[in-house]
Amino acid sequence: MENKDMQAVNTPKLNKATIIVHSGDMDKIYSALIIGNGALSMGMEVSLYFTFFGLQRLKKGELDKGPLSKMNMLGLGKMMIKKRMDKANVASLEKMITDFKELGGKILACDMTMEVMGVKPEDLRQDLISDYCSVGTYIKEAMESSMTLFI
């Protein structure tokens, strides 16, 4: 068993989280960034890999668009939610993603999604994106991560 153990772990793990952001739902983007910023604050490396509907949110002007529509489904009015989020010190997505970058987080954009959807680099928030890459890059990041999520 111990010998198998030694052979088994063939990729050294970093204290790192790699998160696929597939969904474009506002609440899911919040979750991704709350987890990402939390992990960075606690000393982990973090890569967010934006793909499919998630990548749409990285288009210019899309990040905080309609931010409360989904939240409304929880049964509260827009103003009420806004007030409560302020009171609970929940930042806007724009603030959160800027913090994420400043804390050293990495944002990867899925180039296959870009090609299929006809999205060009200049359509995207290039100030936020660390790299444009394909699934191979994601797998490499995930293989060295101790924590993987699909959101």
Q: How far is the CB of 60 from a copy of itself (least distance, A)?
A: 15
In Å, what is the CA distance from 26 to each residue of 23, 93, 119? 9, 9, 20
**For residues 35 and 108, what is the distance between their CA atoms, to the nearest angstrom?**
16
Stretch that binds a copy of itself, among 86-94, 97-105, 120-128 (CB under 8 A): 86-94
Instruction: Render the burial of 65-86: b for 16+ CB within 10 Å, e for the rest.
Output: eebbeebeeeeeeeeebeeebe
CA atoms within 13 A of residue 141's CA, in its CB half-sphere: 23
Give whichever of 10 and 127 is closer to a copy of itself, judged by the CB atom: 10
Instruction: Indicate whether 20 belongs to the interface with a copy of itself (CB under 8 A).
Output: yes
Interface residues with a copy of itself (CB under 8 A) are 1, 4-5, 8-15, 17, 20, 22, 27-28, 30-31, 34-35, 37-39, 41-42, 44, 51-53, 56, 71, 73-74, 76, 81, 84-85, 87-88, 90, 112, 115-118, 135-136, 138-140, 142-151
